[in-house]
Amino acid sequence: MTSKERIRAALAHKPVDRVPTTMQCVETAWDNMKKYLNVETEEEVMQHFDIDTRIMDLPPYIGEAIEPFINEDGETVYTHPLGYQYINKWNGVEYNWHIITTPYDVIKTFDDLEKFDGWFNPDNFDYNAVTEFVKQHEDKAIRIGWPGPYQVFTLLYNTEEFYVNMYEEPELIKAMLDRYCKASYEIYERMYEAANNKVDFIRCADDYGTQLSTLFSPDMWDEFFAENTKMFVEQAHRHGAFYLQHSCGAIRSIIPNLIRCGVDAIEPIQKVTGLEVDGLKRDFGKDLCFQGGIDTQNILPHGTPQEVFDETTRVIKALHEDGRAGGYILCGSQDFEGDVPPENVCALYEAGKQYK
């Protein structure tokens, strides 16, 4: 099986020749891995582990240059193509971004919404790069996608304002979500086309969960997110791609809603209330494929390689297909962070390789 076939089979609940893999790291973790394996590029790290996917979240930005600048505190301020400004801060272990301006805050009325011109502009991205990317990785599974509507609002809009306005200005919030989704939809449309429909799956990232439950109720999820989720799912399916929903946290209560919207797979299966892997497989395995599940909050940063190996084997056993319906793609329960020892990353993929 090629990597492409393997991932597609897993997502379609069909048998695979070995456990399919993907890899997601924060910047510092990539650096740690390169150093540890003594290689230069992320591509070489992925080749080392025989990773089945290649990921292009957004195509390269080719709009008007948004040069970084230095602020009063001497920090370098970057502007993300989505429109928010951020700085990178070292926390003693790794660099993390800190958002400093949220552009949607100026939208307080429908009037403001009409006047606002800070939406994603689909013309600002280089779709030839998508064509190239797909050619370059012909036998790999191609994944696209970036934050979904909810996550984007935590980046582009004051988070607290968002929650309060779900109550106080629901129609305005829905209209804002619609505008955002339209722009996003258009970009995906051009990506699918530039890829000649060779995108295998799309991952939309929306962190709906905390350690214990969802951030808002399942009914509210339906009210604000069911329609736009359906829209992106249908688009993916029309282009022969699968739809993977990323959500951090304890999202069991909205899994039925996601299934109703046609979602094919979920990740990253954090070790939180209600997402115990056996129960997940039992209750939703026939409808969903799973990705992730190896705990980045505890085992990966703090465990020994042997513990990581054993835990990985346990999770694969619970979630991986054995002729039963429901596939599995191996990776951590979130991006590997700077605090995960490279030995533990190796142990995780080694367990995948050895799994019979």
Partner 1 sequence: MGLIQEISEYLQKGRAKNVKALVQQALDENLDPKEILNDGLLSAMMIVGTKFKNNEVFVPEVLVAARAMNAGLSVLEPKLVEVGNEPVGKAVIGTVQGDLHDIGKNLVVMMLKGAGFEIYDLGVDVDPAVYIDKAEEVGADIICMSALLTTTMPKMQDCIENLKERGLRDKYIVMIGGAPVNDSFCEQVGADYYTPDAATCAEVAKKVVLEKRAAG
Q: Which is nearer to partner 1, 22 or 165 (CB)?
A: 165
Q: Which is nearer to partner 1, 47 or 217 (CB)?
A: 217
Using the contact rule CB under 6 A, the part of the chain among 38-46, 58-66, 232-240, 266-274 near ligand B12 is 266-274
- Which one of ligand B12, partner 1, none interacts with residue 291, CB within 5 to 8 A by kind? none
Q: How far apart (Å, rounded) are the C-alpha atoms in residues 288 and 327?
A: 8
Q: How far apart (Å, rounded) are the C-alpha atoms in residues 348 and 346?
A: 5
Q: How far apart (Å, rounded) are the C-alpha atoms in residues 356 and 346?
A: 18
Select from 75, 169, 222, 335 the one that contacts ligand B12 (CB under 6 A).
335
DSSP for residue 61? B
DSSP 323-355: SSS--EEB-BSS-B-TTS-HHHHHHHHHHHHH-
Residue 321 in contact with ligand B12, rule: CB under 6 A: no
Residue 253 in contact with ligand B12, rule: CB under 6 A: no
Residue 205 in contact with ligand B12, rule: CB under 6 A: no
Residue 291 in contact with ligand B12, rule: CB under 6 A: no
- What's the min distance (Å) between Cβ of 99 and ligand B12? 6
Q: Which is nearer to partner 1, 185 or 216 (CB)?
A: 216
- Which one of partner 1, ligand B12, none interacts with residue 334, CB within 5 to 8 A by kind? ligand B12
The residues near 127 (Cβ < 8 Å, ≥ 6 apart) are 59, 190, 191, 193, 194
The residues near 219 (Cβ < 8 Å, ≥ 6 apart) are none
Q: Which is nearer to partner 1, 24 or 53 (CB)?
A: 24
Quote the strand ranges of the chain, DSSP E.
53-56, 69-70, 76-79, 85-90, 95-101, 141-144, 201-205, 242-246, 265-267, 289-291, 328-329
Q: Which class for 72: exposed (0-12), middle (13-18), buried (19 or more C-beta within 10 A)?
A: exposed
Select from 21, 22, 257, 334 the one that contacts ligand B12 (CB under 6 A).
334
Q: Binding mask 51-90 vs partner 1 (x if CB under 8 A, - otherwise)? A: --------------------------------------xx
- Which one of ligand B12, partner 1, none interacts with residue 207, CB within 5 to 8 A by kind? ligand B12
The residues near 217 (Cβ < 8 Å, ≥ 6 apart) are none
Select from 16, 26, 177, 315 the one that contacts ligand B12 (CB under 6 A).
26
Q: Which residues bind partner 1 (CB under 8 A)?
A: 89-94, 96, 98-99, 159-160, 163-164, 166-168, 210-217, 220, 296-298, 301, 337-339
